[in-house]
Amino acid sequence: MHFQDALAEDIRNCAARLLAEDIGPVDITAQLIPEKHQARARVISREPAVLCGVAWVDELFRRLDPRVALTWHAADGDRLPPDQPFLELEGPARSLLTGERAALNLLQTLSATATRTRHYVDLLEGTGVKLLDTRKTLPGLRVAQKYAVSCGGGTNHRIGLYDAFLIKENHISACGGIAAAVKEARSIAKDLTVEVEVETFDELEQALAAGADVIMLDNFSLAEMREAVSRVAGRAIVEASGNVDDSTLKAIAETGVDCISSGALTKDVKAIDLSMRMMPNG
């Protein structure tokens, strides 16, 4: 499935799932409010952030109550200053309150991914090295978090197990070696990227000899990365992985690798602190 098609489907399914898990049969607390009462609300971020999740929130309120009008003052990928409204909502008070938590949960998680990604991309500025995500995403949010990474300026690695080969230690063992694994991958799908994860220079040489498109250096030291880049000499894309954080990112980039992948972009994010505040009408 093409990523844009998967994204459109994910937006629909995710919005429906979030509403179902939160509302259940009925929002009993919202029934405290008169059914015809209208209200306005605005959403702010209490900390600097990069926005992500606009389409999901639009779809969520469309499903919940199409009478709710949403006015966005920022778009996905925009930097949000703290304490300034970036979304205003107007409509039935019951619907605003019923959709509040589902909308904020989604926004704070995807914006956290986009914010972490933008932070890393900023650290890499000027190096020419691409920042890649991984499959270490939060359950049920694979496509959404991959989109959030792109909003933060990062680059998507493979989306799942279907759109590229990533041959790791267990694959190599089961196939009887790197050469055999790469050969089998080429026979299965000639047009897909074949990447091999290596842990030693011997495995690196095997991957090069087998014709791998991408070589992932798993937990190599900085000195070993520089040596690996020298040995590859442009014959494959070199990806660094492991021990990536604020203190190591720039140094890894300066070894000459082409890209750096980090699971922290998606699996270790801390939700952005968002708040929805009801406003007086009139």
Q: Which structure tokens are listed for 210? A: 């087998």
Catalytic residue among 63, 135, 168, 235: 168
Catalytic residue among 88, 163, 218, 224: 218
Task: Examine the residue annotation and report whether 197 is marked as an active-site residue of this protein.
Answer: yes
Q: How many CB atoms sit inside 10 A of residue 73's CB?
A: 14
Please work out, in degrees rounded to the nearest 5, the angle formed at the alpha carbon of residue 208 by the alpha carbons of 221 and 158: 75
Whole-angstrom distance, CA of residue 194 vs CA of residue 182: 7
7: left (phi over 0), alpha (psi -120 to 50) or beta: alpha
Whole-angstrom distance, CA of residue 178 vs CA of residue 231: 18
Task: Examine the residue annotation and report whether 36 is marked as an active-site residue of this protein.
Answer: no
Catalytic residue among 17, 62, 79, 101: 101
Catalytic residue among 136, 183, 186, 235: 136
Catalytic residue among 195, 197, 203, 239: 197
Q: Pick from 98, 93, 80: which is nearest to 22 by CA? A: 98
Residues taking part in catalysis: 101, 136, 168, 197, 218
